[in-house]
């Protein structure tokens, strides 16, 4: 994630704060000095850093102690609150209240503008059940039209184009008329970009804006471009009434200082972040949740939402019921592996859990993915009967499975051992989670006659 570097530094600093028995001006100055260095190394704007630290110091030294709440925890709460303020205070959604809503995607070439248009179209279609029309308005780059058509086809969204011989105003006006006739609800226009901001680009966009008057004007900014994000955003804001930002390449190892600075300096809210190359790799931007991630506190809400979206609840419940009934099989294990793959990388999942970042950093995602794929290959090399009845797997069957999945017999044995261990551990957890059911429910329903029979035996 773009904030991983900063998150590591701030998590260590907050750990030191927790170990402070008393809060004094001296140790507070030391903490603020360390936070300052972490933010500078993450390429956060200097003015943003100064304002951020000044607000923290003012609130920290002016707090009234609360019974049973450690001063260190109160300081951490202040740091969190100020981080949320820095990121934008609260989430800002899209304006989609009209029967037909027009959105412009603007930005420099290479910022992920065209892909972002398709990602947002897919988001509106799948999450909000909107009928979306993509418009190929980038006529400066011939490949952009073809790229948008390919992306539109992949998500089953119509793409409108009049070709390179048209101009962007004519194309957009025709697209809006077409959308009205065909009862589309959202029109997303992929506008032209440049390698740098210039008068020609801005004049074209201003002219287009005056003719169409879109409800949303989103700027695509590259999270890897550092402080240039702020310069680009300010350049576009000077010419156009931006309604939001789309931070792309958020899954990169960029230090994230530009993203942390841009909302505060431009007063333009970040509405989305791109978290991968696939069209579904898009997240709404929640300042409080992002602050939690940066400070190493996890983001359980987003993880639960992701699980609800990706995991088949009925299939998951079936697995739990079979486990409780003692009928958990390798087919169920295969289903669990496939469900886990839908949630993304294991490291990414762990980072969203509170206080689990240190453990997450020890995970080798490539190795974890390889291990899960190997397990999947082994199970798929078994017959349906073998998956339901693993006890029949003797030497000859294991040899066949190993050859079929391209692994050794030792790896097949390791999977079977892991299966049995997982099954036992899960059953113990489930039994421990419902002791009342085991004690009160079953005992009160016993037939006294049956108890007498057991005593006679």
The DSSP code sequence of 149-194 is: HHHHHHTT-EEE---TTS-HHHHHHHHHHHHHHTT-SEEEEE----
- Give the number of other CB atoms < 10 A from CB of residue 289: 23
CATH label of the domain that carries residue 66:
1.20.120.140
CATH label of the domain that carries residue 166:
3.40.50.300
Dihedral angle computed from the Cα positions of residues 8, 11, 15 and 16, in that order, rounded to the nearest 10 degrees:
70
Average pLDDT, integer, range 140-152: 91
Give yes or no: residues 129 and 73 share one domain: no
Predicted model pTM: 0.71
Average pLDDT, integer, range 205-218: 94
Give yes or no: residues 294 and 311 share one domain: no
- Categorize the per-residue pLDDT at 164 as very low, low, confident or very high, splitting at 50, 70 and 90: confident
**Per-residue pLDDT at 377 exceeds 80:** yes
For the chain, how many structural domains are there in total?
3
**Per-residue pLDDT at 39 exceeds 70:** yes
**Per-residue pLDDT at 453 exceeds 60:** no
Please give the pLDDT value at position 448.
43
Give yes or no: residues 215 and 107 share one domain: yes
**Per-residue pLDDT at 310 exceeds 90:** no
Q: Which of 298, 315, 344 is the last residue of a domain?
A: 298
Mapping DSSP to helix (H, G, I), strand (E, B) and coil, where does residue 356 land?
Answer: coil
Q: Which of 52, 87, 122 is the last residue of a domain?
A: 87
Q: How far apart are CA 334 and CA 247, in angstroms?
A: 36
The 3-state secondary structure of 365-427 reads HHHHHHHHHHHHHHHHCCCHHHHHCHHHCCHHHHHHHHHHHCCCHHHHHHHHHHHHHHHHHHH
Domain of residue 58: give its range. 4-87
Residue with the larger pLDDT of the pair 453 and 218: 218
Give yes or no: residues 185 and 126 share one domain: yes
Residue 92 covered by a domain: no
Residue 445 covered by a domain: no
Give yes or no: residues 48 and 117 share one domain: no
Residue 442 covered by a domain: no
Residue 120 covered by a domain: yes
Q: pLDDT of 65-91, one tens digit each?
A: 444 456 677 788 888 899 999 998 888
CATH label of the domain that carries residue 397:
1.10.260.30
Average pLDDT, integer, range 20-49: 85
How many alpha carbons lie under 13 Å from residue 322 in its C-beta half-sphere?
17
Q: pLDDT of 253-274, one tens digit each?
A: 667 788 889 988 999 999 999 9
Give yes or no: residues 317 and 347 share one domain: yes
Least confident of 112-126, 279-293, 360-374: 360-374
């Amino acid at each position: 994630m773009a904030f991983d570097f900063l998150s590591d530094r701030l998590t260590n600093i907050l750990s030191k704060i927790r170990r402070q028995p008393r809060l004094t001006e001296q140790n507070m100055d030391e903490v603020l000095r360390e936070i300052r260095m972490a933010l500078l190394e993450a390429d956060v704007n200097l003015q943003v850093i100064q304002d951020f630290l000044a607000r923290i110091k003012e609130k920290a030294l002016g707090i009234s102690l609360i019974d049973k709440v450690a001063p260190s925890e109160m300081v951490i709460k202040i740091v969190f609150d100020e981080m949320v303020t820095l990121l934008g205070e609260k989430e800002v959604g899209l304006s989609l209240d009209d029967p037909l809503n027009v959105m412009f995607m603007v930005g420099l070439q290479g910022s992920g503008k065209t892909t972002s248009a398709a990602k947002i179209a897919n988001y509106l279609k799948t999450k909000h059940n909107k009928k979306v029309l993509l418009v190929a308005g980038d006529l400066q780059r011939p490949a952009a039209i073809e790229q948008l058509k390919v992306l539109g086809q992949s998500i089953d969204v119509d793409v409108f184009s009049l070709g390179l011989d048209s101009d962007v105003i004519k194309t957009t006006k025709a697209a809006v008329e077409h959308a009205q006739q065909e009862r589309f609800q959202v029109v997303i226009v992929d506008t032209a970009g440049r390698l740098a901001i210039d008068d020609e680009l801005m004049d074209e966009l201003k002219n287009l804006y005056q003719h169409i008057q879109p409800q949303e004007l989103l700027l695509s900014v590259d999270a890897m471009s550092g402080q240039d994000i702020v310069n680009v955003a300010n350049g576009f804001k000077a010419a156009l009434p931006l309604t939001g930002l789309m931070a792309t390449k958020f899954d990169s190892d960029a230090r994230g200082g530009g993203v942390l600075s841009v909302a505060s300096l431009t007063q333009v809210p970040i509405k989305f972040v791109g978290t991968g190359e696939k069209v579904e790799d898009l997240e709404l931007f929640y300042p409080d949740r992002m602050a939690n991630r940066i400070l190493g506190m996890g983001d359980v809400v987003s993880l639960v939402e992701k699980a609800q979206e990706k995991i088949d609840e009925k299939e998951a419940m079936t697995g739990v019921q079979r486990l409780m009934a003692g009928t958990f099989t390798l087919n169920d294990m295969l289903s669990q592996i496939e469900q886990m793959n839908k949630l993304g990388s294991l490291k990414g999942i762990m980072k969203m859990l509170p206080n689990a970042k240190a453990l997450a950093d020890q995970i080798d995602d490539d190795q974890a993915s390889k291990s899960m794929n190997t397990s999947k290959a082994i199970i798929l090399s078994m017959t349906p009967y073998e998956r339901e009845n693993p006890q029949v797997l003797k030497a000859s069957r294991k040899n066949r499975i190993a050859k079929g999945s391209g692994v050794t017999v030792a790896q097949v044995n390791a999977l079977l051992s892991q299966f049995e261990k997982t099954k036992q551990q899960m059953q113990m957890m489930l039994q421990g989670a419902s002791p009342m059911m085991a004690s009160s429910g079953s005992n009160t329903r016993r037939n006294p006659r049956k108890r007498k029979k057991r005593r006679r035996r």
